[in-house]
Amino acid sequence: MSDVKCTVSNCYFWAKTNLCSADSILITSDRSVEPHPGMAVGNEADSALIQAIGSTPASSIAETACHTFKAR
């Protein structure tokens, strides 16, 4: 992935200078994934989650997050 800036420095995909090194990331509104706490993320799993939750509008930045995060 190019030019996705992120400051979550304890993520497996985080790289120096605050860049994300993941091939792709999944971002949704936080509320939309609450009913699906056990669903995995990453490539094919992302597609399943997206199909399950559909579009996920948010009303502010605080209601969105990266769900590709993986703790180091």
Interface ranges with ligand SF4 (CB under 6 A): 4, 6, 8, 11, 13-14, 20, 22, 25, 66, 68-69
Residue whose structure tokens are 């400051």: 7
Nearer to ligand SF4, 36 or 70 (CB): 70
Residue whose structure tokens are 């939309």: 32
Q: Smallest distance, Å, CB 51 to ligand SF4? A: 21
Residue whose structure tokens are 């605050």: 18
Nearer to ligand SF4, 39 or 66 (CB): 66
Q: Smallest distance, Å, CB 16 to ligand SF4? A: 11
Q: Which residues of 34-58 are buried (b: 16+ CB within 10 A; e: fewer)?
A: eeeeeeebeeeebeebeeebeeeee
